[in-house]
Structure 1
């Protein structure tokens, strides 16, 4: 695709240039969900160039950055300029990408089948396709990772803040702890941070996974709210069959139960789906002590645990 000099003139223009590439990488149909389709080499180079030009063009106002002393009488004006500069240095593009992933994830949820028996069969390839696209986009927009995400981490606005590191590692280190044990605590703490509201700046792949959890996994894990009677008491629906144990209330938990307890069919395929779903839940930040993760983690192949 031809790179217009105006592509870096504004976020609107830059996004208009990037959007077809993102749609092809993340949304385009493919026969291999584990691999995102590539874009043309010249387009790939054009995206890198456009993002670089946008950052460099917007990093400072014409004539160089304002000096605080010259704006000492107008602190609000100086703060506004600094805020705009920060936005133009990557936050605006980062937030736009977050909204893009939210839209894609919501489309996946809306496309989910109504039948619980096919939900896992739908969700696993959808996540694999989404994940492959997110990893490809992260490579495509690596400049955003290196120059915005890295700066946010340096400013203690990132995935793990200093207080988190102290809580997760420094206060729990023992003399006999190996390097691997310390690194595992850090990895576990990062995974927990995907559970938090999207207020922390994380690498672009983690940004995508966090949105998948918020927009797809969390709604499927949540139980429906109980109806409230006129007297203000919550009413539980009457059991349809008292001879059988009650079904899990979350839709994804019901789908997993049906998958694992179904009779006949390919048992190896059921185990594969369960293992891949377990990896997906782990990847998007579902905690290790969640009942569904406990149920599924044993299906993860030993080499991937």
Structure 2
């Protein structure tokens, strides 16, 4: 996953890799089964997410015919699976016989969604396994790796937007998304009065959802686009059993496989005596998590390129935010001030 270099052209600029052509499938039907569909999709995913590039913030492209072929194959696969899961005419069908919930979920795209989740888990684990053992270079490694991974995740989400619209949206409507009714019901129930109207209860549910979003940076009066971004951060923070937008699936896996282990504080075996707090003049103890130690070294080492230091700190802050690390996390508090302000929009 680390960004690799490619041969530069005469102007000193590294040319982007050529768009990946549509692979020949012969007479095979990519929509015939999940293995067939995955065999057709994976070269595109590997090209977008894993291929070397000198532009880590932009994913390599695939040819238009391949893009259209993927969309058609995914559409046909979903359609064929839905038809196979439909109840055949027979006794009981007219009386309201229903497909079991697990079959219905599988037919509507759960198998492909789960395969994508496993793909991102493997890709993120490659980033983690490639991390340097030296804390001083960890942030320098992690920021471009995340930028490359993020660019690929966004490209794949656009490529497979049919999955977002057909499967993810329906799962959220069925209360299988990042925030479920059961998550907020207890808190809301404690504030409900016997004579409360349905509108009041709905308002309390919305207020509870807003409280959750504030943990990830939501502010009152935010524009719809800003709210959507904050909700994606919340999706990335959710457990793996929650159905979320495909880009959030990727960021969630980056958090689970990369950030969480690097943020974790190693457990100390045994019950040793507590260390005394540092006296005046003593150096404060180093942070215990690897990533926290790396950030401390980045920000406190004298000399070097100050602009590069701020760029790396801001890039890591964006990675933490995007992958669902909450605003009250100590490292986020330390790094968020380095995030560059958004560029002002001008009216056309």
Provide the C-alpha distance between the structure 1 equivalents of 2:309 and 2:242, rounded to a whole number of angstroms.
Answer: 36
The equivalent residue for 2:295 is: 256
Whether 2:117 is the aligned partner of 1:117: answer no
Alignment of 1:84-123 (within 5 A): 84-123=103-142
**Structure holding more helix per residue:** 1
- Using the size of structure 1 for normalisation, the TM-score is 0.85
In the alignment, is residue 153 of structure 1 matched against residue 172 of structure 2? Answer: yes
Native 8 Å contact 1:34 1:132 kept in 2: yes
Contact 1:60/1:85 (8 A) holds in 2 = no
Provide the aligned length of Structure 1 versus Structure 2.
292
From 304, 316, 323, the counterpart of 1:265: 304
Deviations 1:185-213, CA, capped at 9 Å, x for gaps = 78656534433311111100111001100
The equivalent of 2:328 in structure 1 is: 289
Conserved 8 A contact 2:131-2:141: yes
1:302 aligns with 2:344: no
TM-score (ref. length: structure 2): 0.75
Are residue 134 (structure 1) and residue 153 (structure 2) matched? yes
Partner of 1:168: 209
Tell me whether 1:70 sits opposite 2:92 in the alignment: yes
Measured in 2, the distance between the counterparts of 1:195 and 1:217 equals: 12
Inter-partner Cα distance in structure 1 for 2:321 and 2:257: 16
What is the aligned partner in structure 2 of residue 13 from structure 1? 36
User: Can you give the 5+ residue segments of structure 1 that lack an aligned partner in the other structure?
Assistant: none
Rounded to whole Å, the distance in 2 between the matches of 1:102 and 1:227 is 30
Which deviates more from structure 2 when the two are superposed, residues 279-288 or residues 152-161?
152-161
Offset of residue 224 of structure 1 = 1.0
User: For the residues of structure 2 that align with 1:259 and 1:201, how far apart are their CA atoms?
Assistant: 36
The equivalent residue for 2:65 is 42
What's 2:317 paired with? 278
